[in-house]
Structures are given as C-alpha cells and as structure tokens.
Amino acid sequence: MSSRPRCSQVYESRKKGLYPRSAVDSSFAPKDVYEVAALFSDAQRDAVGEIGLVGMLEVANITHVDREYCWSLFLDVDLKRGALKIDDDVYVTFNEVDIHNILGIALGGDILIEKRNVPPSPAQVTQIREYLGLCPSSFYVTIGDIRWALKKPCQNPFSEADKIRTQVGFAMLCMASCFSPRENRQTVPTEAYAICMDPANLHRVNWGRYVHSELIGGAEKVHEIHREGKRPQLYGCPLVLQALRFDSVDTGTAVKPEPLVRPRIKFYTAFILSRLIHKDTVVGSVPKRYGVMKARRMADQSLPWNGQNLRSKIQEAKAFIDRSLKEHALASAERNTLFFRKLSALNDGTIACMNENMHREIEKHLACL
C-alpha cells in the first residue's frame, strides 16, 4: 500500500456533485463555549463541575476551524474498526476513556442521551426557557439565547436559579456547539431539551457515550455524503479526531509535545492546531493533500521482531533471573555466616551482653529460617 500523503477528498466530492469551490459546511463552534466560560465566576465553574463538564471550561478560543482538514479526518475513520486511520495499516481506536482524556468530561453515567429527530415539545420549550430565564414564548431556544442567558450576571450569594441556569445552559451549549452541531448554526438538538428537563440528574448523564456515538454517526454521514457526491457537511466533534491524530503522529519540531497535559483540549490551542495542520499539509498542493506526519514509533518498534530476536530476548531474561538468584544466594550465605559467628561468640562469652540491635537481628533471622 502506498504511503503517499492522502489527497483532500473534499475536492472530489465537489466535482462529483458539480458544486462550486467553497468551504465545507459546519456548525462546530468551540468559541461559543470559550466565550461564556471566560466570564464564569468560581461558583458557576463549580456548578459546571458538578454535572461532569468541567473539562469543557478549558476549551480554547478556536475562531477558525480548518473544515477541509476535519472532513479528511472523518473520511479516515474506519467504520468497521471504530478507529481513526493514522498511517498505512496504523489505526487508533477511540472510546469513552479517550474522549474523557481529550475533553475532560466525566467518565460513565447511568443516564444515556437518546438521539431525537423530532422537534422539542411545547412543554419542553416552555420549561427550558424558564430555566434559562428567557421570556415566555413558543419559539425554540437558539444558541444565541443560551449564550445570552449564560452571560447574565449572577446574584451574590449564588442562587439556586443561577445554578440551574448555568448547568442547563452550559450543557445545552456544549451539545449544540461542540458535541452534536446541526446543519443550522443556531439549532439546539432536541435531545438537549430532553436531557435538561431534570437538572438535578445532569450529574448522572453519560456524556462520553453521547460524544462517541455522535462521532461515529458523524463519520457515517460524511462517508455517505462523499459516496453520493453531495455538499460536504461536518457532524460530531472534530476536535476529538484532531487530538487523536496529533497525539499519535511524530510532530517533529513543529510543536513540542506535552502528553501529560489533561484535558488534551487545554494543550491544543488554536495556534498549536493551526501550526500542526499546516505541517501535516503538503505545501502548494491543489487539491490539498494531508498526511505528511507519520505514526509515532516507540524506541523498540524499529527492532526486527522475528523469531531470532524473540529467542534472544528470552535468553536475556533467563540470564537475568539466574544472575539474580545467584546473587541472592551468595548474599544469604554471607548473612548466615555472619549471624552464626556472632551467635557462637555470644555462647563462648566473647560477647558479654547483647544490645537492642543484636536482639532484633537474631529475632529477624530466626523468623526467616
């Protein structure tokens, strides 16, 4: 299989569908979350932490998302493996634990979010608008409404109404702008209404399962759109795929890797992502080609792991064990000789009395016999 940089398949999708050259459509907007989080008080940040979304407070101010690069990443998701292709025959599987490490959202949860393809009910609209402190209306809640509600000053001391407004608003904003953005920029997923109807149980929600299912579902849609030659549209959270890729490739001197930073979105700022994407793109390629960076290899991955190498490693391990046993036996024999020499001197009267250290040494030695 060829290891050439992969070609941007956005161009091919446009050519099939006879669409003019334009950006990939996407409503993914992490800057929405960043802007409101930057204004939160300590009490609001604590309230967000209670529902398991504290990591999203660390999202960077990403005002520009390279949609073509994200589109290419979604096309690199192997739907059968449930993994992201990093290089020829190199795949990285991802699950809720990886999403926890990347986004910093809570692991587990017994309440699952069910995808809903129907509009929210009038009762849901009324209740959510009340939680957010919006005026009574039959209009659906928009992302703009949520941002306005979250930027409102809170009472001092922090009231229960402020806490509910913060938790409900932040959960809905994360779902609408980052976890499961829809075709319309202002649309809030219906499941966001449903899951926030009972704010007291938001801490039990399995956010990781939701993000993972939306990523896989988003990859399925992207593959389908590509096959049919329709206008490119992103779904799910491409930030997760970006972090997975750049954590798995050799970035060279482009960026100094800091693998211990958690959540990973705290490390992957807008500047770092832009620089890495630039380094992963073939300069001057039309259409754009990606995949310049290759899979990171561990130090011993370059060894020829054949049968002879394996036998050599086994022999080295056996030699180490034998050497350790011999050293232990010699040390034990030396200790025994010294002990009995002291004991004999005591019996012969050479040593008139024993101090506390000798008492402890004799008791310890006898216990081992």
Each residue's pLDDT expressed in tens, for the chain with a length of 369 residues:
444 455 445 444 444 444 444 479 999 999 999 999 999 999 999 999 999 999 999 999 999 999 999 999 999 999 999 999 999 889 999 999 999 999 999 999 999 999 999 999 999 999 999 999 999 999 999 999 999 999 999 999 999 999 999 999 999 999 999 999 999 999 999 999 999 999 999 999 999 999 999 999 999 999 999 999 999 999 999 999 999 999 999 998 889 889 999 999 999 999 999 999 999 999 888 889 999 999 987 544 444 444 555 566 666 666 667 666 666 666 666 666 666 666 666 666 555 455 555 555 665 555 555
pTM for the model stands at 0.76
Mark whether 262 and 331 lie in a shared domain: no
Mark whether 200 and 67 lie in a shared domain: yes
Mark whether 189 and 221 lie in a shared domain: yes
| 3-class state of residue 185 by DSSP | coil
Mark whether 188 and 295 lie in a shared domain: yes
What's the total number of domains in the chain?
2
Domain that holds residue 342: 310-368
The whole-angstrom separation of Cα 29 and Cα 6 is 26
Q: Are 62 and 31 in contact (CB under 8 A)?
A: yes
Mark whether 96 and 30 lie in a shared domain: yes
Report, in angstroms and rounded to the nearest whole number, the Rg of the chain calculated over CA atoms.
Answer: 30
Provide the β-strand partners of residue 90.
87
The whole-angstrom separation of Cα 35 and Cα 59 is 10
